């Protein structure tokens, strides 16, 4: 029996759970030879999201520690891409993948990451992928008992009681490691015949123009100012005509990495779907760090400037190693990613009463977004001069 298209998901949930339990019971001895004997399998629903259900799977009697994480994908496919009409926002990625394709890609990504990082260095961990239940759009992977880097960053905010404990966990090294990890990933992943996006300077300029048009039409010329047009000019002047391309992680952000004991970094949730410009993932990470929900909604008050600057420098230094830092190109790409996120926020805050409240908070965040954009533009200026 499969959870095929058109079948109401709720009706299948029980069946999927039974199937996961059956599969784990059958294979747990092989996956965890030290475990001893055929286990009694228990499932606990950790989160139910529109696109995925996540289960902690327990295979050890009495243990409070899960051994496996089951990720069951579901729901609608990704929204369509670059339809730049009045309602739809512009995007960097343009295609629609089915739930099954997304699941297969994530599993393949986890396998590649595991092959590269499992024994690479004590700096890094790797999630062990265990099984792909193709008919159920489900992945079984080893459970990692650690908080995410996002949680660690939240713990480091001003006025946080956890601040000291975050420091004690060697939190500072982890930022540099996020850079080193990315460079290692890009070196080890083969581009093969992955489709490419924004491989030419002209494509980047085109996206700046698309975000400009979209944001002007939705939040007004005064709110967006000349940020995106200056981004387009910056792209013209600092990017090469053809951009160096690498395999993209897909969502390289602090919420998709675990920061374990001793600042051990374990990256998960890969979607290596595209060949992307080399700096995209690095800049995606930096923008995610700078625009962390909290920071956005407190309009920059949650973290001090110097602290953010220090983390950012550590990430970039980790990524670049001894090579020179292409500062103006990085600012340019961060600006592009920021406009993408800004457009997403504006787009999401359209419609129901729930999103109305969000719209207000997005409007209130405009000054912060603008100041971030100004910071990027001015750091590009000083890097160029």
Binding site for Mg ion (CB under 5 A): 256, 269
Stretch that binds ligand ATP, among 74-82, 137-145, 156-164, 337-345 (CB under 6 A): 137-145
Q: Applying CB under 6 A, does 69 fall inside the site for ligand ATP? A: yes
Q: What whole-number distance in Å separates Cα of residue 235 and Cα of residue 68? A: 45
69 binds, among ligand ATP, Mg ion, none (CB under 5 to 8 A by kind): ligand ATP
How many residues line the site for ligand ATP (CB under 6 A)? 16
Q: Residue 199: which residues within 8 A CB-CB, separation 6 or more?
A: 242, 243, 245, 275, 277
Nearer to ligand ATP, 141 or 245 (CB): 141
Contact characters 246-275, ligand ATP, x per CB under 6 A:
-----x---xx-----------xx------
Q: 183, 265 in Cβ contact below 8 A?
A: no
Q: Applying CB under 6 A, does 72 fall inside the site for ligand ATP? A: no
Q: 209, 233 in Cβ contact below 8 A?
A: no
Nearest distance from C-beta of residue 230 to ligand ATP, angstroms: 31
Stretch that binds ligand ATP, among 30-38, 50-58, 220-228, 331-339 (CB under 6 A): 50-58
Give the C-alpha distances (Å, rounded to integers) separating 102 from 7, 66, 70, 135, 320. Answer: 19, 25, 15, 13, 30
242 binds, among Mg ion, ligand ATP, none (CB under 5 to 8 A by kind): none
Nearer to ligand ATP, 45 or 357 (CB): 45
3-state secondary structure (DSSP) of residue 378 = helix
Nearer to ligand ATP, 52 or 332 (CB): 52
Nearest distance from C-beta of residue 32 to ligand ATP, angstroms: 14
Farthest CA pair distance, the chain: 67
Of 148, 184, 314, 329, the one binding ligand ATP (CB under 6 A) is 148
Which H/E stretch holds residue 48? strand 42-48
Residue 76 C-beta-side C-alpha neighbours within 13 Å: 4
Residue 192 C-beta-side C-alpha neighbours within 13 Å: 7
């Amino acid at each position: 029996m499969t959870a095929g298209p058109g079948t109401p998901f709720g009706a299948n949930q029980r069946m999927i759970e039974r199937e996961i339990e059956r599969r784990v019971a059958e294979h747990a001895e092989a996956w965890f030879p030290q475990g001893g004997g055929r286990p009694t399998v228990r499932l606990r629903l950790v989160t139910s999201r529109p696109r995925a259900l996540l289960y902690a799977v327990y295979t050890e009697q009495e243990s409070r520690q899960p051994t496996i994480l089951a990720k069951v994908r579901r729901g609608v496919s990704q929204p369509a891409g670059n339809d730049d009409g009045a309602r739809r926002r512009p995007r960097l990625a343009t295609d629609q993948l089915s739930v099954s394709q997304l699941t297969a890609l994530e599993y393949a990504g986890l396998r590649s990451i595991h092959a590269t990082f499992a024994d690479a260095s004590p700096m890094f961990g790797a999630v062990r992928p265990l099984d792909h239940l193709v008919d159920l759009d489900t992945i079984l992977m080893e459970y990692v008992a650690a908080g995410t880097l996002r949680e660690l960053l939240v713990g480091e905010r001003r006025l946080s009681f956890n601040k000291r404990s975050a420091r004690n966990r060697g939190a500072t090294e982890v930022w540099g490691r996020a850079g080193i990890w990315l460079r290692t990933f890009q070196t080890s992943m083969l581009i093969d015949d992955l489709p490419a996006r924004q491989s030419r300077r002209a494509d980047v300029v085109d996206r700046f123009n698309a975000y400009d048009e979209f944001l002007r039409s939705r939040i007004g010329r005064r709110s967006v100012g000349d940020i995106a047009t200056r981004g387009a000019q910056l792209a013209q002047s600092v990017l090469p005509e053809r951009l160096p391309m690498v395999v993209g992680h897909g969502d390289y952000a602090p919420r998709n990495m675990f920061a374990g004991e001793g600042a051990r970094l374990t990256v998960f949730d890969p979607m290596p779907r595209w060949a992307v410009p080399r700096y995209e993932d690095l800049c995606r990470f930096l923008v995610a760090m700078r625009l962390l929900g909290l920071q956005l909604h407190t309009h920059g008050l949650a973290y001090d400037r110097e602290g953010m600057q220090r983390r950012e420098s550590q990430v970039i230094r980790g990524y670049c190693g001894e090579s020179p830092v292409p500062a103006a190109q990085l600012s340019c790409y961060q600006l592009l990613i920021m406009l993408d996120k800004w457009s997403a926020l504006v787009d999401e805050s359209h419609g129901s009463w729930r999103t109305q409240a969000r719209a207000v908070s997005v409007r209130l965040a405009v000054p912060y977004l603008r100041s971030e954009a100004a910071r990027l533009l001015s750091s590009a200026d000083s890097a160029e001069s």
